[in-house]
Each structure stands twice: as C-alpha cells, then as structure tokens.
Structure 1
Amino acid sequence: MPSNKQSMTSRLAYAFGAFGNDVFFATLSTYFIMFVTTHLFNSGNTAENDRMISYITLIIFLLRFVELVIDPFIGNAIDNTVTRWGKFKPWVVVGGTIGSIALIILFTNMGGINKSNPLLYLILFGFIYITMDIFYSFKDIGFWSMIPALTLDSREREKTATFARIGSTIGANLVGVVVMPLVLFFSMKSNGGTGDAKGWFWFAVIVATVAWISAIVVGFGTKEIDSTLRKNKERTTFKQVFYILTHNDQLMWIALAYGLYTTGMTLVNSLELYYFTFILGQSSAFSILAGLNILTGLVAVALFPILADKLNRRRLFFWCIGIMLLAIVIFAFAGRSLPLVLIAAELFAIPQPLVFLVVLMIISDAVEYGQLKLNHRDESLTLSVRPLLDKLAGAISNGAVGLTAVAAGMTTGATASSVTPSGQFTFKLIMFGLPFLIIMIGTWVFYRHVTLTEARHAEIVDQLEKTWGKKFEDHEPDTNNSQDFDAYFAPIAGTLMPLSDVKDPAFAAGSLGDGFAIQPTDGRVYAPFDGTIRSTFSTRHAVGIESDSGVVTLIHIGINTVTMQGTGFITYFDKGQRVKRGDLLIEFWDKAIQDAQLDDTVMVTITNANALPQLTFKKAFGSHVSKNDILLEFND
C-alpha cells in the first residue's frame, strides 16, 4: 500500500484535477453560450446576428448528439491504451491540453471571419468545437475512471472520491463567482454589465490555463497501479448501453426520471446569468449566488449520508424536488428584488447535489438488480448511463438557451432596460415554466416506476451472495495443478463452530455448501489460499474466491449485515484480482455490527464441496483459530 504521504499527494493532485475539470465544464456548458449570444456577432444587422446565433446553437446541439454516440468508442480507446505512464493519465494530459487550446480559440471571432466569411466561420467553428468536445471527453472519462486505478484500498478510494467531489463542487461554482468580475476587469467597455469580447477572451484564457495546469498536476501527482481487473474491463458500446436500458427496467426508469430532471435543472442553471444581467440588471451580483453555492454545495454533500439515513433515499428525493419546485415559483415572481432572487436561486441550488447522489446510488444499485434479473453483471455499462444523460441535458439546454436569448432580445447590445416586457415574459416562460413542467414529469416517473429502495437492494444482494456459487457446484478442481490445493487456512481469528449452529437458515441447512463458522475475535478477514477474487459485493461484507486448483469458497461476515450497506466494512481487492494466502481482504468494525443489533458470526462455505475430495477438519469445534491455522484438508 502507498505511504500516507503518497496518498495525500495523490488525493490533493486528484482533487485539483477535479477542480480544473469542472471549471472547464462549467465555462463550456453555462458561460460560453453567453459569449456567443452577447458578443460574438455584432454586424449591426440584428436579423443577421440572430440568424448566426441560431446557426451556432444548432451546431452545438447537433454536435453534442454526435459526441454522445462516439463517447463509448472513446471509452474503448482508453481501455486499450497501454503506455509507460499508465492508461488514463496520458489522456487526461493530452485531452486537457488540446481542449484548453480549442476553448481559447472558440472565445474569439477567429480573425474576424465571423463577419467577412460567415460560412467559413461556421465550418471552422464546428470543427474546433467537436475537436474540443472529443478531447474533453477523453480527459473527463479518463479522469473519473482513474479512482480504481489509484488504489485497491476501498477506504483510500472513498477519501480520494471525497476530495475530488469537494474539488469539483468548488470548481463548478467558483467559476460563477469570478466570471463577471474577470470579464468586466479585462473589458474596455462594460456594455450594460455584459463586458466586451476582449474581457470574455481573457476570461477564457484564465479558465483554459487553470484547466491545463490541473491536468498536468494529475499527470505528475498521481500514480496508477496495475491490476488484472483493469486489463479486463467490459467495453461500452452504444448498442450495449441501449440493451441494458431496455432490459434492466429499474435502470430504464431511473434514467428516464433523471434525464427529465437534469434537463429542467440544467436549463434553469444555464439561464441564471441571463436573469441577473437582463432582468435584474446586476450581472456582478451573480458572483454572490455562485459564492453561496460553493458553501451550500459542500454542506449538502456532507449532510447526504445523514439525510439519506434519516429520510431514506426515496423520501429525500421528493423533499428535494419539492424545495426546487417551490424555488422556481418564488424565482418566477421575484422580479428585480435581489434578496428574493438570491433566496429562490439558493433554494433551487441546495438540493441539486443531494438529488445527484440519490440518483447515483440508485443507478449503482441497479447493477445488482440487473445482475439478478439478467444473470450478467454490467457494471461499466450501467454506470455509463448517468454521464450520457448529463451530456444530453447539456445539449438540449444549450440549444434552448441560444434560441431563448434570440426570442427574448437578449443578444449583442442588449441591456436590462432594452429587453421588452414581451421579451421578459418569453424568457421567464422558458426559464421557469418549461423546467417546472419537465421536472414534474420526471418526478412522476420516479414516483410511479422507480422501486429500487435500499431495502429492496439489500434483498437482491442477499439473493446474489447466496446463489453466486451455484454455477460452481459441479466445478471439478484441477488435481494436476502444481499449486497446493489441499490446505484451507482460517480466514479470520476466533472460535470455530459448526455451520449448522448459525442462526441463518440457508447457511445452517447447508444449502449454500458445506463449511464452518467462526465467532470472530478480530475484524480482519484474510485469504485462506492462493486464488482469484470471483465475486465482490457493493455492501463489502462478503467475498467469493476460487483457489488456483478450483476450490470455490464464500466468506460471509455476519447475518443480515447486507442491510448495513457497507458501513463499517473496508475491502482491499477488486473482482478478478489475484491474491496470496494470508493477504488481507476485508476489515470490519465489529462494534458497528453490534450497534445495528446484528449477529457478527463469519460463515464460510465451500460451494463446490460435492465435486471435491472429502473435507477433513484439522481443528476441533470450540477451539480458537488464527490465520496461520489449517482448518481443512481435502483428502482422497
């Protein structure tokens, strides 16, 4: 395992990478369209300007859909990458470099050809935009795929992911704090608070530089480890994603619900700067909202485990949606009252990270749901759905924002005083009325069809762990294997007891295979032999291992501990990983099991015992055993 110093360096580097990644994405998805609609086209002919803006928004809209299709192929390319620097870091650095250069170019008029040769400008714009988007996707997919490659320690992964979430939350909101102050600082003219092209250009330069430096920091500050699992990932294709969506009904429904929700939410967020600029007439005040979003976002992320535990995910989702819908209503009638606008916008923002985490947890649980239903585990395919939906929402909102700006008269040269009452009504209808309806429909879908609760997921995992070894029941061991397959060491220290004495009926009846149980005196589970991890569980309380010679065993910690959802358990392995006898596999906090009023007995079964030679116990029941004690031998 890496030292604490190395771990902290890696976490900080990765967190800064997340910060830069979201600074870039927020600029691209929210603020770039503001530059396009207010400064890129100023020919003096309003109709011509509006037509070019419409062309640009249509190009962005269509290219985003093209990029959705090629995303799976980007994932495959990353999966097939082999370099001395690792699999993911090269794409983070290369994608960050090319994407940053392309972003700077997009925040220019390309030498004035937007006026002198509009058709050439549109062609070049489309080429540069799709290039930027593709390389950003290489960076984004590579970056968020790195967590399993940085460490095999699940505790370290959680710390790394937490640091990254903090970094991304700050990055996504900090760019909103600085956007207008930076634009106005570098602008020659304020233009009613929208700045000028020069100001937006230098804002883009600063964003691109920060994003590029963060990519370099990830390249030098993190180190990918090697594992067999990383070499055998399932490749995601568009066809496979579609297959999983249509055959895993719970994934399909949560995808539909979230797709509707995130489209409505993204549309409101994308139009907020327009509201501050063209309704309030105080574009600089947008920094106040963005600053508040940083604080409330971090608090919301920290409170998620507590709220999810107190309310459960389903109730938390409805509470969040209720608050967001109330916020939209307040926002719609806030007018030019800055305090009321800030209250409404903040009420809309606070639940967003909570909804994101609820949906992420349900989609993660859909992995096991699909595994039980389809008899095939599609982990990478299932988890690829959410990013696809976020990009789809971004594509739709970008198109809607551009067209809204044209329809409401919020384009080049416009100010808060120049926007007509009719334009304001059109703007508010799109910013508030349409998202309210879309989010309501998504909530109805969630209410009617998403039934994958924590309790149901626990039942599914319980079924999976009790049936995963069935396919090995007649699995003959390889007696010609040079590995010593006839010794089974104790996986944990404690008191040895017969399996028939445990309080779990399935284990006690032997329906899961012959074996034994141990009343633990320690919280560490070790590999009982050399072999390969064949089954892992998201709740971390069990592991399935196959020895080099074909002996298959399930080690299960406690009774009904699946309901703890992994709390108090730490795993040190990946599915497909090779382990040596005595390697630490799981640590668990026994007090957490006791506090949950559950039985902490460790149950061990040999799932293919019927196909093995006779099992002979080397230790008497009731005796104390440790990891260096041989418990079983397989004798002819």
Structure 2
Amino acid sequence: MSNHTKQYTSYALGAFGHDAFYATLSTYLMLFITSQLFNTSDKAFDSHMILMITNMMMIIRIVEIVFDPIIGGFVDNTDTRWGKFKPWLMTGATISSVMLVIIFTDFGGLTTSNPTMYLVAFGIAYVILDIFYSFKDISFWSMLPALSVDEKVRARFGTVGRLGSTIGAQAVPIVIYPLIVFFSQTFSGTSGQTKTHAGWMGFAIVIGLVSFLGALATTLGTKEKKSLIRQNTEKVGVIDVFKALGKNDQLMWLALSYFLFALGYVVTNSLLAYYFTYVLGQSGKFTFAGWIMAILGVISVSLFPTIVAKIQRKAIYTGGILMMVVGYILFLFAGHSLLAVLVAVAIFFFPYPMIFLAALMTITDSVEYGQWKNGTRNESVTLSVRPLIDKLAGAVANGVVGLAAVHSGMIGNAAPSSITSAELTNFKMYMFYGPVVLILLAACVYFFKVKLTEDKHKEIVTDLEKKLEAEQSEK
C-alpha cells in the first residue's frame, strides 16, 4: 500500500467511526429517550421528563459551544512528538466512547426511582461526553489543512474523509434496529422485534468501539505535512482565539449559512425515524432508508471531485439545496406510501454530502484566508467553527425534536392510528415547513456573501508563499 493510499484510508476510517458516533448522539439518542427510556403508563410524567432532558441537552450544548474555539486554541498550542492533533484525538475518542455507553442506560433505574437524581447524573455524564467529543471532533477535522496545503491533495483528503463519514453516518440507520433487537434477544431473552434497555446499550457499545478504533486508525496512519506556510504560527490566548475568528469575515458568513443549513437538515433527518415509526407504522422499513442514503452518499461523495472541477463550490452548495427542496415537496405528497417516501428520501439526501464538502472545503480554505488577511495562521481555531456549528445545530435540533415528539403525540408506544390530524399537522411543521425555510436562507447567504472561491484561494496561497519566502531570505 502506497503512503498516500494508507493516509487516505486511515483518514476515511477515522471519519467512518466519528460520524457513526455523531449520528448516534445527534439523532438516535433522542429516539432512545422518547421511545424506550420514558415509556411508563404515566404519559404526563414521560412528557415532563422528555422535555426536561431535551432542554438540558440543548442548554448544555449551547453553553459549551463557547468553549469550542478555546479547545481549538488548546490544540493549536499543543506541541508533542506525535504532533498537535493525535493526543487530543485519542483522549477524546476514549472518554467520549465510554460516556456514550453510560448515557444509553437508565443509571441503575434512577429514571423512575429518583428522577431528580437521574437528571443530575445524566447532566454530568452529558457534559463530560460533550467536552471530550469536542476535542475529538476538532482534532480530527483540524488535521485537514495540516495534511496538505495543495488544493487537489486537500480535496482528496476531504473527499475520502466525507466518504468515510457518509458511510459511517448512514450505516447507523441500517444496523440500529437489527443490533438493538439482537442484543435485546441476547441479554434480555426477548423474541420478535421487542427492544429493551439492554438492547440499546449493546448498540451504544458497538458504536463507541467503532468510534475508538476509527480514531486509532487515523492516529497510526496519517502524518502532518511540514511547510513554510504552516510554520507561520504562534501561540494564541483566549481573547486572541475569538479575535482571529471575528476578523475572518468569509469564515463568519460561511458559518451563518452552514448553521442555517445544518439546523434544517438535522431536524428533518432526526425526525425521519419518527416518520417511519409513527406515520407509516413501519419502523422495520427504516433500514431501507439507511441503505438508500448509504449508497447515494457514496455516489454523491465520489462525484464531488469531478463536479466541483466543472462548476465549483458555489453552484454545488446552492444547487444542492434547491434539489433538497424538491425532496421536501415530494415528502409532503408522499403520505403513507412507502415507495413515495423512499423516493423523497433519495432526492432529499443525495446532494447533502456534496453540500457538506463544499462547506468544509470553504472553511478549510479560510485558514489561509485568515492567515493572508490577519498575518497569523490558526488551523484548529478556524476548523473548530464547523464542529461548533454542528453542535449548535444539533443542540437546537434536539430541542426541536423533543418538542415535536411531545406536540405530535409520538412518544412511548403511540401508534399511527393514535396520531390525530392536528398532531400530524404539527409534525409536518417541525419536519418540513420550518426546515425548508432555513435551508433556502442558507443558500441565499452563501450565494451573495461567500466570496472565497477556489481561484481566490489559489491566489492567496501563491501570495503567502511569495511573502514568506521573501521574509525568510531577509533573515
């Protein structure tokens, strides 16, 4: 295996485990809480606890996003024999994987025996998980500009990384119900499609292990590239971290656009399992959606290098969003037809990996833009913005999903026949109407405000190299 192939494969494996973890945390934890954890005969108690946990998770993630740029500063200021990313990557992977398993339990029955104590214990565990997940997330994606400053090589790393993350994220809806049922039968002695706490915990153990092994593969198989441009760094303080971000206008506009897009997408994607369970009444068929998204995700990511070379990122980002809007429209007319829903899923999801890559490559290029504009290179600080946005979008989305589940009557053992027309209208507001407005706003912001194109980035890199070489020769 050539060195480049080894590095690409290692980075893709890390992305696979990382996004399997993220999908579980951002989408399926809420499904566990609303359908399994709080499923007593007292629906008022269940609704109260679901809303309490939903609000807690949202508040914790919103408060902690302030620390993401500071975490990026920690990573940027790290200097070890293993580089500045890998120690944080492995530490974050180990602790976050352990904590993931813990939050997929009822903490020894505290959910019913002492609900207040459960909320305290869950809050502490969730904070620890979130902090170390942030270290892992920022370290992993911050490696991208350090692996190469060459636009083509960087795009390859971004593409294989997104390929791995797409497969990892979409593998979860494929395996989630089979794994939960398998572990329920193994540990709880159930039969049929019955799902138990033990089954969910077994699923969480698998995901935690996959996340850890992926991080290990990236740690052992990748290598930071040394270059004159990357040497133009200095240690930054807390205030300097936020100054560096605030002065990077292209990063800020991209951040606004991507937040609007991510929030709309995550809300719809998170409610998809509810649609199959409580609208179609065919939770077992959710695996089909996972397969469709996995296959189309691989195709979409594979096509990205060819398409971006022809039409560039701006057309991919805005055009992809318009295609997703078509998917939303089809969803509204799909009703209870499984085939129509799966077609809508395919059209809605296909452009998503390309849109993500267009945003990721723009954020990555803003490292050199910020260096060119402000005189200092901040890799992890700059790349921390994308995880920060995903966390913020995920936090708000978790809150929206919790509200949607309660306001639409989709909790516990509810069935499609028990969902009223008013509750179904509420559900559509959460899953379709609100998100489509958000992603259209995202397209407008990107189209009119983001000017950092591929050609502009090449000019910036050339200018930086000339400037730094001149400064080197004068010494």
Q: TM-score, normalised by structure 2?
A: 0.88
Deviation at 1:216, TM superposition (A): 3.2
SS state at 1:108 partner:
coil
2:324 alignment partner AA = M
Residue 24 of structure 2 corresponds to residue 100 of structure 1: no
Q: Distance in 1 between matches of 2:131 and 2:110?
A: 24
Q: Deviations over 1:497-518 (max 9, x none)?
A: xxxxxxxxxxxxxxxxxxxxxx
Q: Distance in 2 between matches of 1:246 and 1:155?
A: 28
1:182 — aligned with what?
179
Residues 142 and 383, structure 2, Cα contact 8 Å, conserved in 1: no
**Residue in structure 2 matching 1:58, options 55, 74, 88:** 55
2:213 — aligned with what?
213
Residue 51 of structure 2 corresponds to residue 23 of structure 1: no
2:375 alignment partner AA = H
Residues 29 and 394, structure 1, Cα contact 8 Å, conserved in 2: yes
1:376 — aligned with what?
375
After TM superposition, the structure 1 = structure 2 runs for residues 84-99 of structure 1, keeping only pairs within 5 Å, are 84-99=81-96
Q: Distance in 2 between matches of 1:290 and 1:234?
A: 44
Comparing 58-67 and 242-251, the one that deviates more: 242-251
Q: Deviations over 1:295-332 (max 9, x none)?
A: 21122222223333443433333321211111111112
1:439 alignment partner AA = I
SS state at 1:340 partner:
helix
Structure 1 366/297 Cα, relative in aligned 2: closer, same or farther at 3 Å? same
Higher strand residue share: 1
Structure 1 549/365 Cα, relative in aligned 2: closer, same or farther at 3 Å? closer
After TM superposition, the structure 1 = structure 2 runs for residues 356-367 of structure 1, keeping only pairs within 5 Å, are 356-366=356-366
Residues 159 and 301, structure 2, Cα contact 8 Å, conserved in 1: no
Residues 367 and 377, structure 1, Cα contact 8 Å, conserved in 2: no
2:27 alignment partner AA = T
Structure 1 237/65 Cα, relative in aligned 2: closer, same or farther at 3 Å? farther
Residue 298 of structure 2 corresponds to residue 298 of structure 1: yes
Q: Deviations over 1:337-362 (max 9, x none)?
A: 11110111111111112222233344
Gap regions ≥5 residues in structure 1: 469-534, 537-541, 552-636
1:550 alignment partner AA = E
2:76 — aligned with what?
79
After TM superposition, the structure 1 = structure 2 runs for residues 136-147 of structure 1, keeping only pairs within 5 Å, are 136-147=133-144
Q: Distance in 2 between matches of 1:79 and 1:314?
A: 29
Provide the aligned C-alpha RMSD in A: 3.2
Residues 65 and 392, structure 2, Cα contact 8 Å, conserved in 1: yes
2:335 — aligned with what?
335
Residues 241 and 385, structure 1, Cα contact 8 Å, conserved in 2: no
Structure 1 194/135 Cα, relative in aligned 2: closer, same or farther at 3 Å? farther
Structure 1 451/73 Cα, relative in aligned 2: closer, same or farther at 3 Å? closer
Q: Distance in 2 between matches of 1:274 and 1:71?
A: 31
After TM superposition, the structure 1 = structure 2 runs for residues 161-240 of structure 1, keeping only pairs within 5 Å, are 161-187=158-184, 195-222=195-222, 233-234=233-234, 239-240=239-240
Q: Distance in 2 between matches of 1:183 and 1:296?
A: 25
Q: Deviations over 1:104-152 (max 9, x none)?
A: 1111101001111111111110111111111111122222233565678
2:315 alignment partner AA = R
1:404 — aligned with what?
404
Structure 1 11/172 Cα, relative in aligned 2: closer, same or farther at 3 Å? same
Q: How many residues align?
A: 471
2:424 — aligned with what?
424
2:164 alignment partner AA = G
Residues 267 and 397, structure 1, Cα contact 8 Å, conserved in 2: yes
SS state at 2:346 partner:
helix
Q: Distance in 2 between matches of 1:30 and 1:311?
A: 33
Q: Deviations over 1:561-594 (max 9, x none)?
A: xxxxxxxxxxxxxxxxxxxxxxxxxxxxxxxxxx
Structure 1 228/59 Cα, relative in aligned 2: closer, same or farther at 3 Å? farther
Residue 474 of structure 2 corresponds to residue 550 of structure 1: yes
Residues 106 and 125, structure 1, Cα contact 8 Å, conserved in 2: yes
Structure 1 11/362 Cα, relative in aligned 2: closer, same or farther at 3 Å? closer
Structure 1 76/231 Cα, relative in aligned 2: closer, same or farther at 3 Å? farther
Structure 1 432/194 Cα, relative in aligned 2: closer, same or farther at 3 Å? farther
SS state at 2:469 partner:
strand
Q: Distance in 1 between matches of 2:313 and 2:89?
A: 34
2:459 — aligned with what?
461
2:259 — aligned with what?
259
2:469 alignment partner AA = I
2:120 — aligned with what?
123
Comparing 24-33 and 305-314, the one that deviates more: 305-314
Gap regions ≥5 residues in structure 2: none
Structure 1 24/410 Cα, relative in aligned 2: closer, same or farther at 3 Å? same
1:461 alignment partner AA = E
Q: Deviations over 1:180-206 (max 9, x none)?
A: 121223335999968332221111111
Deviation at 1:402, TM superposition (A): 1.1
SS state at 1:417 partner:
helix
Comparing 406-415 and 251-260, the one that deviates more: 251-260
Q: Distance in 2 between matches of 1:305 and 1:8?
A: 17
1:522 — aligned with what?
none
Q: Deviations over 1:426-459 (max 9, x none)?
A: 111110011012222223333443444556x27x
SS state at 1:412 partner:
coil
Residues 368 and 377, structure 1, Cα contact 8 Å, conserved in 2: no
Q: Deviations over 1:595-618 (max 9, x none)?
A: xxxxxxxxxxxxxxxxxxxxxxxx
Q: Distance in 2 between matches of 1:270 and 1:191?
A: 27
Q: Deviations over 1:258-279 (max 9, x none)?
A: 2211111111111111111111
Higher helix residue share: 2
Q: Distance in 2 between matches of 1:410 and 1:365?
A: 43
Deviation at 1:25, TM superposition (A): 1.0
Q: Distance in 2 between matches of 1:173 and 1:450?
A: 29
1:427 alignment partner AA = F
1:570 — aligned with what?
none
Q: Distance in 2 between matches of 1:446 and 1:222?
A: 32
Structure 1 548/314 Cα, relative in aligned 2: closer, same or farther at 3 Å? closer
Q: Deviations over 1:49-90 (max 9, x none)?
A: 111111111111011112211122222333344445443323
SS state at 1:545 partner:
helix
2:474 alignment partner AA = G
Deviation at 1:161, TM superposition (A): 4.2
Q: Deviations over 1:458-495 (max 9, x none)?
A: 7x927x85xx6xxxxxxxxxxxxxxxxxxxxxxxxxxx
2:165 alignment partner AA = S
1:442 — aligned with what?
442
2:295 alignment partner AA = L
Deviation at 1:364, TM superposition (A): 4.4
**Residue in structure 1 matching 2:46, options 30, 38, 49:** 49
Structure with larger Rg: 1
Q: Distance in 2 between matches of 1:417 and 1:163?
A: 44
2:387 alignment partner AA = P
Residue 67 of structure 2 corresponds to residue 67 of structure 1: no
Q: Distance in 2 between matches of 1:311 and 1:382?
A: 26
SS state at 1:23 partner:
helix
Q: Deviations over 1:537-573 (max 9, x none)?
A: xxxxx7852486627xxxxxxxxxxxxxxxxxxxxxx
Deviation at 1:249, TM superposition (A): 3.9
Structure 1 155/448 Cα, relative in aligned 2: closer, same or farther at 3 Å? closer
1:25 alignment partner AA = Y
Q: Distance in 2 between matches of 1:387 and 1:41?
A: 30
Residues 184 and 195, structure 1, Cα contact 8 Å, conserved in 2: yes
Q: Distance in 2 between matches of 1:423 and 1:134?
A: 36
Residue 289 of structure 2 corresponds to residue 318 of structure 1: no
